[in-house]
A and B are shown apart, each in its own frame.
With several copies, the nearest count.
Chain A
């Protein structure tokens, strides 16, 4: 089996360059590649275009890349509460393209499945449709949306093996599997890295062929954005 293991986040992103396009997995702060984001901050590369469903919070996740002004453009469906984000957007330092969440996911899918474009009804009749081809199938209108092109996809999984196979845990899965299929180079950080052969082939979520570099991450904080509880005695 082909060995995809690198030493850590810094080695994994060593050839990432100013001005490139990255996909970053995660939904909110759940399932984000914490180690690689920290390494990107350390590396200090600039003018990045980031495709990610959200933009983190001020002091965690992609918010860290915004703080250090490394992001030129965000492509997201929801940018939430992030004061630094808002400041950069209003000052014109940051460009933002907001697209429907399903369109975001499906444009990743299209890239990973080798489909140059897909059709979705999301956004028909809204400003999202501006400049896009509208096509009628069976009496319903759809927008044609293009597959993403990303220089790197950076994802976080729960377990992975040396051959690059990935298994995600719970809703930390979210965008990670579709982004993993969509990068020209895909980097996976995992909580536990095992030898090829230790994972059940039937339970692999992302086959290793899609993953170019893999390493076991350290010190996961896994910050909770909206801790919501019910009382013990309802």
Chain B
């Protein structure tokens, strides 16, 4: 079973040289710490920055330079700043190669719910609806089951949707799964020490799980 950093590390293996990548808040942010050697990617922050660098060291923080999570950050050589309209322009026109974000639920048809729980205070969807509706390649990073022990990989989302038929891949503490065009979760890899049966029990949606599914490899 993986911890949050393990999930981030596994997702980082999906990065390809030359990718422009948008990382959501939470586990996705951690992916930046595991970019493989020799792979050049450029991070986009949808508040208007390409070429996001690491957090600043103390004393170097600039209130005018933040990321979409409102955190102080830095820029890397070759970065560029632009307004919010152009930022979402490049997202909609699919110039961003990969979006990684968290989710409360994902359905076997690639629907995602990650912005609203009925009865709870709603904070808003931010840029998530734009990202999932536009990105050509979306990976969801999340826990396989919720705190109540219920699967978050479902036949159909129960929460209000963020986007429809858009998620291609899910990485959890238990597994890597593709979502098939015809619907269904295709199990690709098991987390170290996790059995196929365990994944089956934790997955409520339709699961295609070969008995010989390999274990994840790192490095």
Contact = CB atoms under 8 A, between A and B. Distances in A.
Chains A and B are bound partners: yes
B70 A226 contact: yes
B203 interface: no
A77 interface: yes
A113 B123 contact: no
Interface residues of B, number: 73
A43 interface: no
B197 interface: no
Contacts of B121: 86, 89-90
Q: Which secondary structure characterizes the binding site on chain A? A: loop
B126 interface: yes
Contact of B83 (A98, A111, A174): A174
B133 A171 contact: no
Interface in B33-62: 40-42, 44-51, 54-58, 61-62
Contact of A232 (B46, B57, B90, B160): B57
Interface in B68-88: 68-73, 75-88
A138 interface: no
A128 B78 CA distance: 36
Contacts of A161: 78
Interface string A203-223: 011011110000000000011
A202 interface: yes
A209 B18 contact: no
A14 interface: no
Nearest to A182: B93
Nearest to B57: A232
Given A161-B78, A175-B84, A209 B72 contact: no
Contacts of A222: 63-64
Interface string B86-100: 111111111110000
Interface residues of A, number: 81
A53 B65 CA distance: 17
B66 interface: yes
Nearest to B92: A114
Interface string B1-23: 00000000000000001101000
A80 interface: yes
B216 interface: no
Interface in A67-110: 76-81, 86, 89-90, 98, 100-106, 108-109
A230 B88 contact: no
A224 B90 contact: no
Contacts of B88: 101-102, 105-106, 113
A127 interface: yes
Contacts of A114: 89-94, 134
Given A78-B124, A101-B126, A113-B92, A176 B70 contact: no
A31 B9 CA distance: 34
Interface in A101-152: 101-106, 108-109, 111-115, 120-128
Interface of A: 1-3, 27-31, 53, 76-81, 86, 89-90, 98, 100-106, 108-109, 111-115, 120-128, 158, 161-163, 165, 168-178, 181, 195-197, 201-202, 204-205, 207-210, 222-232
